[in-house]
Amino acid sequence: MAILFCHFLSIIKLGSTDITFTNSLKTKASHGVQWTAIASVVSVFIQFTQITILGHMLLPKDFGLMAMVMIIVEFSQIYADMGLSTAIIQRKDPKIEELSTLYWFNICVGICIFILLIIFSPIVAKILHIKELKEIIWVFSLVFIISPFGSQFQSILSKSLKFDILAFIEIGSMFTGLIVAIILAYFKQGVWSLVFGQMSKIIVQSLFFTYYGWSKLSRPLFYFKISNLKDYLSFGIYRVGIVSASLLGARIDQLIIGIVLGSSALGYYDMASRLAFTIVQKINPILTTVAFPIFSIVQEDIPILKKGYLKMIQMLTFINAPILIGFSAIASNAIPIFLGEQWVPAISTIQILTFCSLVRSIDNAGTNLIYAKGYINWHFYWSCALLFIIPAVIYASGKNLTPEKVALSMTFLQIVLSLLLYYVFIRRIIGHCFIDYIRTIGLPIILALCMAITINLFNFFDLYLSISFYLGFQICFAIIIYILLSWIFNRQSLMEFIRFLTRF
């Protein structure tokens, strides 16, 4: 996407004043996006490696317990950060006295979060009827004492566009977490394999940032002044509200399953969510990293904004549709091979959630438009509304709740929300474009569905192939079919994607 980034920078104008960028900034931006892409690809590979290996070695109950822990931890991380990382990046020229105050404030908040988790973890475990949660949260809470020492340096590196260093640290910490988790799983440590794997990733990442920050960047002073917090917290607290509402909306389905059905059912659903959403969560930021600053620059030029938005969802759908729909088509063969027979009950949930993931990936581009136009309060109200809508939709799915029913409810809701997103927000920002919108996302989806139907036709024939060889044949044939169909019916998107691959 570096090519796309520089192309946009060269043509954008704001009013009568040309927006020009120095070659140095263009180079940094291009370099940064490339490293973001590299880190995303490698992290996807590491995550799927970990899922595949640990899926064979651990039980669904272990993944369910870890999912519940991560819901609690992720919320705690939001309040431990207080939105200050984003505030530091947003502030044009923070003073060393301000940064020093924020640094020690973050450490104090981390210690407070640690104490609160120790105090309230028995209550949480009792409410959720999961005794193991108390000990796991106690151990995991240690990261809140360690991670604040490096979090500010991570923000400074992002602000300085040092994405190569960020990529190295992310990849190194993820690889460490992978090794620790596999070793502990080999020694039959169950859920603790996941706990210490995740903890080691966070701790190693924090240690790297701390070492680099104290040795290469400006060292924090032993200085603290409350008045320096005011402007940063006024920005950060609002950000905390938005992120909290968004995270709860994204995790509320897992929370309901964990409370109602228990850790084993949550384990199946969590694994399905990981497989359905991980690729999108890694691919989309590569594109949206480019989109947000560009949309912000041209926010007053509606025709260019509209063109950029449609181009964005075109590329997102062209890439995500064949991956997600194709994965849904081969899931019945792929899951027993890569995860083991114990995960067969999760197949139908995975197949449903891939379509939910596809729709959500398209909606992410709309969120960038909303932010670029400065309507961040819209997103906050939208996220808050989902906290009431999602439980209601899941409740309406029936009394005998199952992971499959929750997945169907979430997919149906995501489709409805996508239409509402267009009519309530997108249409107001860039004008009427529903026909263009449907045409843009519809063609790659139809071609991906045709691809999926074609490769599944082979299931009706006895090809006398081993399941592993047959799966490889399906994947290769699916790629050929999608490329061929795109060449015939969607050549423009195909050629743009090829140009991106050859120039990246």
Which stretches of 141-262 are DSSP H helices?
Answer: 143-146, 148-159, 163-186, 191-216, 230-261
Q: Is the pLDDT of residue 488 over 60?
A: yes
Report the C-alpha gap between 389 and 406 in whole angstroms.
13
* Rg of the chain in Å (alpha carbons): 23
Domains of the chain, by residue range, sit at: 21-235
Burial code (b: 16+ CB inside 10 Å, e: under 16) for 56-87 equals ebbebbbbbbbbbbbbbbeebbbbbbbbbbbb
Report yes or no on whether pTM surpasses 0.85. Answer: no
Chain segment 105-129, per-residue pLDDT in tens: 889 999 999 999 999 999 988 888 8
Average pLDDT over residues 130-153: 90
The pLDDT score that the predictor gives to residue 159 is 73
Within 13 Å, how many C-alpha atoms sit on residue 392's CB side?
Answer: 6
Q: Is 397 exposed, middle or buried (0-12, 13-18, 19+ CB in 10 A)?
A: middle
Chain segment 257-306, per-residue pLDDT in tens: 988 888 899 999 999 999 998 877 776 766 665 554 455 445 556 777 78
Chain segment 403-449, per-residue pLDDT in tens: 999 999 999 999 999 998 888 888 888 888 899 999 999 999 999 99
The residues near 266 (Cβ < 8 Å, ≥ 6 apart) are 63, 64, 67, 68, 254, 257, 258
Q: How far is residue 442 from each of residues 50, 324, 438, measured CA to CA in Å?
A: 34, 15, 5
Report the C-alpha gap between 400 and 481 in whole angstroms.
40
Within 13 Å, how many C-alpha atoms sit on residue 357's CB side?
Answer: 29
Token pair recorded at residue 70? 């991560």
- Number of helices followed by number of strands (H, E) in the chain: 20, 2
Average pLDDT over residues 80-94: 73
Report the C-alpha gap between 316 and 319 in whole angstroms.
5
